[in-house]
């Protein structure tokens, strides 16, 4: 679902003014006025995702950020308004010259009634626009404490160029990269956050958590043995993630700073990688199974 493609929703005056201007250009035709409003509203309604057909992940995402039923109700109101305007057209077509004032009065009144819906839908659009554009590919989630090197790893194993920051808590988006080989595409998500309680998470952490829960086929947990966070804390998160029941492998970052020390790090029943290249090879094999 591409949430970035929803059409901007304006205020009633904008649509009225535009409709009047367009109809004047065509000798003040009532049909031009009515068609413009109906078609514009229809286009807005269609540009919103059809919520019932969303994937489980996107449904959950929408439900966490929007009032689903209210959004549907306002979309219904917009659709209704377009139809009402069109029915005014058939009513006033023959007498438009004489009854122009009355027609515009009634059209304006319908537009006033949809103001709250237009406002609500624009707010909804702005929220939906911020959702990550996660696709339906085999998905790898890179997880770990802030500053451990998640985003850096993403740039090493995919072709994406996200922002790298040398300080914590700066991740404002879920970075997405792709590994492509032949016809196959693997999606890699840089999912920030430390799995606080859901009500304590910020917007990005929530999105990351839901992506992890619903879309991850494989989790890459990044351990940073230079310890920007205590190893103990890093272990706690690692253990928490095991509860998700998704295969998890480990990447040890900052090899250049730590050298051979990394070889001493062992975990039961978990594959450990130090080289991005070997990590990619493993991901490619897994994604084919
Ligand atoms: N020396 C070294 N620095 C690294 C490595 N990976 C990440 N960093 C640095 O660690 C900091 C945090 O990295 P970043 O990828 O943004 O971590 P994130 O918060 O987990 O996404 C940045 O200053 C990076 O340049 C690495 O392998 N070696
Ligand atoms: Mg990052």
Please tell me the number of the ligand nearest to residue 144's CA: 1
CATH for the stretch 138-288: 3.40.50.300
pLDDT at 262: 81
Q: Is the CB of 257 under 6 A from ligand 1?
A: yes
DSSP 162-227: ----SSTT---S-EEEEEEETTEEEEEEE-------GGG--HHHHHHHHHHHHH-SEEEEEE-TT-
Residues with CB under 5 A from ligand 2 (ion): 150-151, 171
Q: How many A from CA of 180 to the centre of ligand 2?
A: 22
Interatomic CA distance for residues 254 and 144, integer angstroms: 14
Please tell me the number of the ligand nearest to residue 168's CA: 1
Domain spans, the chain: 3-129, 138-288
What's the Cα-to-Cα distance from 227 to each of 31, 146, 258, rounded to whole Å?
69, 11, 11
| Averaged pLDDT for residues 180-197 | 88
Q: Is 118 exposed, middle or buried (0-12, 13-18, 19+ CB in 10 A)?
A: buried
Q: Which residue has its alpha carbon closest to ligand 1 atom 6?
A: 149
Selected residue with higher pLDDT from 69 and 28: 69
Q: Which among 285, 278, 239 is positioned nearest to 255, based on CA atoms?
A: 278
Kindly report, residue by residue over 142-188, the tens digit of the pLDDT: 999 999 999 999 999 998 777 665 554 455 678 899 999 888 899 99
Q: Is the pTM of this model over 0.75?
A: yes
pLDDT at 111: 97
pLDDT at 207: 87
Q: Provide the edge-to-edge strand list for the sheet that holds 248-252.
A: 175-181, 184-190, 138-143, 218-223, 248-252, 272-273
Contacts of 190 (CB under 8 A, 6+ apart): 142, 150, 151, 154, 162, 171, 174, 175, 176, 177
Average pLDDT, the chain: 90
Asked if 2 and 128 count as a contact pair (C-beta separation under 8 A), the reply is no
Q: Is 2's pLDDT higher than 80?
A: no
Asked if 109 and 115 count as a contact pair (C-beta separation under 8 A), the reply is no
CATH for the stretch 3-129: 1.20.120.1190
């Amino acid at each position: 679902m591409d949430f970035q493609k929803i059409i901007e929703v304006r205020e009633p005056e904008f649509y009225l003014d535009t409709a009047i201007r367009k109809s004047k250009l065509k000798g003040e035709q009532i049909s031009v006025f009515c068609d413009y409003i109906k078609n514009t509203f229809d286009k807005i309604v269609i540009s919103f995702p059809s919520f019932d057909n969303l994937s489980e992940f996107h449904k959950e995402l929408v439900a966490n950020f929007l009032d689903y039923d209210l959004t549907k109700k306002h979309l219904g109101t917009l659709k209704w308004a377009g139809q009402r305007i069109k029915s005014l057209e058939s009513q006033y077509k023959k007498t438009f010259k004489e009854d122009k004032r009355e027609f515009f009065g009634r059209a304006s009144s319908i537009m006033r009634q949809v103001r709250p819906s237009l406002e609500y839908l624009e707010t909804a659009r702005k929220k939906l626009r911020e959702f990550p554009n996660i696709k339906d590919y085999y998905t790898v989630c890179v997880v770990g404490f802030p500053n451990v090197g998640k985003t850096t790893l993403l740039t090493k194993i995919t072709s994406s160029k996200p922002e790298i920051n040398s300080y914590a808590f700066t991740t404002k988006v879920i970075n997405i990269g792709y590994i492509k080989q032949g016809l196959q595409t693997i999606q890699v998500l840089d999912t920030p956050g430390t799995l606080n309680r859901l009500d304590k998470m910020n917007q990005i952490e929530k999105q990351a958590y839901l992506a992890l829960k619903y879309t991850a086929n494989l989790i890459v947990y990044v351990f940073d043995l230079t310890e920007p966070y205590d190893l103990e804390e890093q272990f706690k998160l690692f253990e928490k993630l095991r509860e998700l029941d998704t295969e998890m492998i480990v990447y040890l970052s900052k090899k250049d700073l730590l050298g051979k020390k990394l070889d001493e790090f062992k975990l039961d029943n978990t594959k450990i990688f130090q080289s991005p290249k070997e990590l990619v090879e493993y991901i490619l094999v897994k994604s084919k199974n």
